Structure 1
């Protein structure tokens, strides 16, 4: 047993510092296997198992079912480290690991269904509401194909998105419904140029019954007796987890760029490439983008934790700008990696240079719906100008426009 895994066994309730150090210790291994992961189009089971043994899946898991129930910022910091090693592996840890937080919003019966016999069971997801449903006594019958279920090969259950309609076929809620692996098949349709190793295949469901207690609203944000860790809005925690993984990917590009430039020589004069003012300028500006993105994520968590720690809901005046803090990470990470890549010249395009893979992975990650900085900026601008917020995102019920002075 290596030292990291031994420590995980010896210290069942680790501190934040220990968890972050475990993630940092995995960077060399993840970096060494990143090409293998991409070629396999899936993260190997043994890497997921190491994440399990390190305790990463328990960070956000409710204590009642064997978890640590920690502040989500701890999970974000772990993702920021893992992303430096292998983008696809960090993405799988992010997607599969954030679901343990979602269980803090569920009926305890749903948690018992999943973790009653084994509290290490992994849950996958696809929240895009592409399926159909029929309301029946006690729940729903669902059908359809849900795409991009990252790491779904490792899941024994899956959360699937569903839009609920009223009698006039108008949207009234966004649901997350929980189905067991026996109720769906996996369609291997993940053939992409970036994040290829995430194994984000489609989930296909035919006539599966989902009891009401295995569903919850993604749009509702109201007080309940759930623990402090679960009082944040769903969108804030899920979206910020995505951004944290992307931030780690960009930091991984910075790490590799520094290593390559420390030994590289200019092909014309033979001097050290690192002495070029343009190389130094690009590196400095890339680092600024990565650091500011990380700082915004953690600052947002610090500010919103002031409310949840007092068992208060996060107010809209924090939530709306916070979503733009989150969404800009993809764009700034993409800009940071491109700044570095352009300084590599022709050496950067070879497939054995890991920076080109990180570039492709970051571009793909920045296309995730959580990184839509354009619409999110417009939402914030409109909110500040007294305009209404988009329906079924900040609340299940209609929200009044902000009053302006």
Structure 2
């Protein structure tokens, strides 16, 4: 039976506000070696390490997309991509949480101005998990809603200060924003991949949520909420699915860079146990290393294309289906390329790569797990794009 999980409340950082992209990237690069050294410990802890989250918070990394209205630098999705790549190349579990803690500032800004003021009352960052599955019952009451149920896959909950969940009611689905004190967390995160994310289940029991912290799901997803529009930046009003793709794409490209770096160094120095043959002398080794570099370069270009196209989509105000489906398929393609590449690395590297202390086996498990996530499963993405091309409606809600 799952036990309650102990959450960690971080003090609000007093670090000077970073105002440029390069400042944040320099701070991320400075933290990456320590995060890499602690990746195995993170996996064993089954959640992000308190010390690591605290240092990233103090470095201001999570504030990259916070609006200037609330004291943030209001940088672009390209900044998010590069920070997430740096952290994910060191530890994909930590990179996953980093992506959520940066990108979900946009989610917080879809709520009313009053709700945003509460979220940012003590500083320009919020640590916000978001679970859109509709396992919550919402009942209208005077002044708001009473919410009961659970939210699964709660990535980011272990250090959260706010929580966002989906709920269903008789007159339509809504998205709700709650302070973390209003929820209970069950320790259920026992997994083979992305084990260090601490993505535990979130429970809510008859909690009152005021009306200003609830929005209709369709408005939240398409980006037409009044709170987002008041900020005057199209990044905050873009359709949600492309924003999610831009949020997570750096986990793939960064994770593959971590895997490729480890693979190339390992295979270069490999001596076969039975034959004592030096791998670096074999032409096949040269091909394997060259292919890994070329694939990584292609994946990083694809990641940047997803982000550029999402930024252009946001700026245009286009809410039509076709560009969203193109981005979904492109993200799925990127994920599948990473999965195929890391699987090939494992196949070429030998069984010793599965020793627990070898980073590549962790990258292998992590990439394989998130590559089949429902939001960017490649076959689903290809199918939806193909259906649109021949004039059929989507048969999957995640578009």
Contact kept in structure 2, 1:331 and 1:371, CA below 8 Å: no
Residue deviations 1:327-385, cap 9 Å, x none? 22322211111111111212112111111111111122223222211111111001111
1:81 maps onto 2:80 in alignment: no
Matches of 2:338 and 2:367, distance apart in 1:
7
SS in 2 for 1:205: strand
Residue 391 of structure 1 deviates from its aligned partner by 7.3
- Per the alignment, residue 341 of structure 2 pairs with 336
Report how many residues are paired: 379
1:2-24 deviation line (CA, Å, top 9, x unaligned): xxxxxx956x3332233223222
Question: Against the structure 1 CA distance between its residues 328 and 186, is the aligned structure 2 distance closer, same or farther, given a 3 Å change threshold?
Answer: same
1:266 to 247, 269, 272: 272
| 2:87 pairs with 1:49 | no
> Could you list the runs of 5+ residues in structure 2 that have no partner in the other structure?
1-13
2:77 touches 2:246 (CA, 8 Å); kept in 1? Answer: no
Q: TM-score, normalised by structure 1?
A: 0.86
Within the candidate set 134, 145, 167, 2:150 is matched to: 145
Distance in 1 of aligned mates of 2:292 and 2:306: 22
Task: From the superposition, tell whether residues 350 and 143 of structure 1 become closer, same or farther in structure 2 (CA, over 3 Å).
Answer: same
**Aligned counterpart for 1:285 among listed residues 274, 283, 291:** 291
**2:301 matched residue in structure 1:** 295
Task: Give 2:311's aligned residue.
Answer: 305
Q: Rate the CA distance shift 1:291–1:314 in 2: closer, same or farther, 3 A.
A: farther
**Structure 1 residues 346 and 125 mapped into 2: Cα distance closer, same or farther (>3 Å)?**
same
Q: 1:288 to 1:369 in 2, by over 3 A?
A: farther
Q: Is structure 2 residue 121 aligned with structure 1 residue 116?
A: yes
Aligned residue number for residue 399 of structure 1: none
Which residue of 126, 131, 142 corresponds with 1:126?
131
Match of 1:319 among 310, 318, 324: 324
d(CA) in 1 for partners of 2:99, 2:235: 17
Q: Deviations over 1:53-82 (max 9, x none)?
A: 222111111112121111112101110111
Are 2:242 and 2:310, in contact at CA under 8 Å, matched by a contact in 1?
no
RMSD of Structure 2 on Structure 1 (CA): 2.3
Higher mean C-alpha deviation, range 98-107 or range 117-126: 117-126
Deviation at 1:179, TM superposition (A): 1.1
TM-score using structure 2 length: 0.87
- 2:176 — aligned with what? 177
Q: What residue is the counterpart of 1:30 in the other structure?
A: 35
- Taking a change above 3 Å as real, the CA distance of residues 315 and 284 of structure 1, as seen in their structure-2 partners, is farther
CA 1:279–1:176 in structure 2 vs 1: closer, same or farther (change >3 Å)?
farther
> C-alpha separation between the residues in 2 aligned to 1:246 and 1:17?
22
Deviations 1:157-182, CA, capped at 9 Å, x for gaps: 1011234554xxxxx55x32111122
**Distance in 2 separating the partners of 1:387 and 1:16:** 42
Residue 141 of structure 1 contacts residue 208 of structure 1 at CA under 8 Å; is this kept in 2?
yes
The alpha-carbon deviation at position 109 of structure 1 amounts to 0.8
In 2: Cα distance, 1:314 partner to 1:339 partner: 38
Residue number in structure 2 paired with 1:388: 393
